Chain A
Amino acid sequence: MTREVVVTGLGMTTPVGGDVESTWQALLSGTSGIRTIDEPWVAEQPAKIAGIMAVDPGSVLERVESRRLDRSQQAALVAAREAWAQAGRPDVDPNRLGAVISTGMGGLTSLMDAYDTLLDRGPSRISPHMVTQIMPNGPAAIVGLEVGARAGVHGQVSACASGAEAVSYAARMIQTGRADVVICGGTEAVIHPITMAGFAAMRALSTRNDDPTAASRPYDLGRDGFVMGEGSGVLVLESADFAAARGATVLGIYGGAGLTSDGHHIAQPDPEGLGAARAIGFALEDAGMSASDIVHINAHATSTPQGDIAESVAIRAALGAHTDNVVVTGTKSMTGHLLGGAGAIESVFTLLALRDRLVPPTANLVDKDPEITLDVAAGAPRALPQGDIAALNNSFGFGGHDVALVFRSA
């Protein structure tokens, strides 16, 4: 018998809003956060657009805090403070408090900036904060220090599945009795010429530069790749008993997780979606649920030609005929792809959809690809039924990582 895990706090900073509610309202109204990158280096880049955080996290934090942190760490700290405040800053034994914050690429922009300094001014001018800015466990450590976590601080690394994997690991810490409360999520901020060039070299990015807000278009026939985004999402998980004892407001319930790997290709999805389908199946099993319990999926849906189809195939393989009754959305159409932050912000979106019984539309879905056999929300928010309902959040990462999470309404 494992302990039930509930969600008591949510925090976000994204390309469409600096907090949870502004982000959520933007999504419900179908607003895109994608814009042209206003930097001189963009001139020679194939992809010149991105989802830049709507509110600069460095401007939200104290100046001294900001200068010591990588941008991904700044975003995580902003989101963590919002989530922790909403949870009511739980009075928990520090030895029973954990932090699990993931990133796909760590402090890569800080590393590149430091390398520029090294070449220009020599080794004596490298910041003493550079190492802690670039280490991939940095965001987890920063958030762990913020709340005083001593049960364990961890950072799962699985590219674009990292944020979702963090949530699953955090829940496991509670289920196995290591912690009563765990603050968890993911963060990313790597909009830099080196990453834009690298993803462009893989032909992974949309080059719809003349129409930024229309560039990320999951499931649409005109999709031509993902759009890089940045930001962070954070959740406060706690054992249901601990939350009840302190009278916390429960925002949603963590159902379960399924984690698999494709064993197919370093960067391309398995066209049969086998790994993803198994992840969904394991997540349902872990949650003690069946396919027919699911009413909504926040899909990975990055807007790549192959990936969106592979996920569609996987969903149908996992849910069978019930797939027709499930409302799917691709919120990356508005936020862009936050890489290691994606699974975290989309977990938050999934919980908000269950809370408000509303699925945000997939922006830019005009001409649906006939190979996509899903009921995709588009044009306007779609209502979900009242009563106890459950939803899935899918996240997949380069390397063949497949993570599916199940959440239930409070």
Chain B
Amino acid sequence: MLELRGITLTYDAADHPDGSRPTTVLDGIDLTVSDGELVVLAGPTGVGKSTLLGVVAGLVPSYTGGTLTGDVLLDGVSIIERPARERAHAIGYVGQNPAAWFVTDTVEEELAFGMEQLGLPATTMRRRVEETLDLLGIAELRYRDLRTLSGGQQQRVAIGAVLTVHPRLLVLDEPTSALDPTAAEDVLATLTRLVHDLGVSVLVAEHRLERVVPFADRLCLLGGDPARPGTVRVGDPAEVLRDAPIAPPIVELGRLAGWEPLPLTVRDARRQAPELTARLGGPPHRERPASAEPIVEVRRLVLAHGRTPVLREVDLALSPGTVTALMGRNGAGKSTLLWALQGRHEAGSGTVRVVGADPSSLRPEERRSTTGLVPQSPADLLYLETVAAECAAADLSAGADPGACRGLLERLAPGIDPDHHPRDLSEGQRLALAVAIVLTARPPVLLLDEPTRGLDYPAKRALAGLLRELAREPGARRAVLVATHDVEFVAQVADDLVVLAEGEVVSAGPVARGVSESPAFAPQVTKVLGAGWLGVDDVAERLAAGSAGVTP
């Protein structure tokens, strides 16, 4: 149905968005999507997944610049010359952040917008809106203001808004990247239902491969070959993942254990697991830093926004040298807890002690030197025109030596051009800049709110390493608290896990115990090998040790 032939996109020096060197982003890409097929597009961050989807939808190069060659065929007819609006009836495109895409303000009007543009008769629109509301299970939301919806609901409305024009191909860019695990499941379940019931073809870019690969008919890997980054490999998911640089933990485990065929689901892997469990022996013991006096202590903290309670009797203790993960659904109170530790929210009742003081009673500059908080969108911190100016301002306001912030940034993300505009940095670099600015005041407590959004497996691993290093830095007495949805990241980074639900702590303790207590938060390796095994790294370590002849 849809066919890409030799798609090549180059930015020449003048219109490159963040630099001045000519680059080839996509390099001779051939891809076909047949009727009723679900194709997953995977690849490392920043490799051009969104760009490729944009080419299909017609938004690239008209929104990004660059030179496009090759051809896009829809049912054998070339559509590469047609702008996005002339493709809308056949190709439905849903971008990364659905909230930024809404044109109207209620669910019903949003569903009708695309049809209005196509000039469909009013009666047809009426019928299709009803059908779509039912199909996506959002009928009760019809009059709701779009901004009051949860992330998962918004994503479903965004999908519905393109479905109403009955496109033949649905193109989705990371539909679950901002969702908590349950909402992500909902959206992906909706997608598979569309493929199975309606026969819509779907092309979806997704970085949480572990969720979507089981449903994929084919996998298209972009940037898998470091020598030619703009090319793709297309094939059966298990085949392509055999040596892909980005792979879900379960696939890495399969590779490590030499399983054949490569398992894509927990179910497949469990069938092959007993052999490996026997080889591995008992679960590993994670070494923990010597327990010390906690530097953050929260006792029976109650906090409310207006009359709605957000935190109910929360207890929390953070010891220096540890990384603690904070998990829970969207709206469970994670961000509020972080901001309470920072001192912006005053405790309704109960006590908050950070390095021996109540943070809400401190002056702003004292707060900054006790806790460093990196907010959910780190770009909010940045307001100057160059990276160098941001760093200089950070030094000045923290009273640090000139160059302190630059030094930190160089450690976190080497090689950033100081004359760049902060907004032109990549997601990971911007996060690094925000962390560096916050760390310039050398706070003993570091809080991060959802730092893994938009990062791929290697980038997350690097961030995990960095956070552990910061926590363990000799002579620093520092504690790190990370709020996140990402189970696999938690397995990599955290010593302790605290789970919040409806503002209450439902579980707290070492990570290995925490994840075995609640299966929803268990990483894949734990699901396959049982409690105590957290990540592929543990298994690799044990196997290496085993082959060296040191059996426990």
> Is this pair of chains taken from one and the same complex?
no
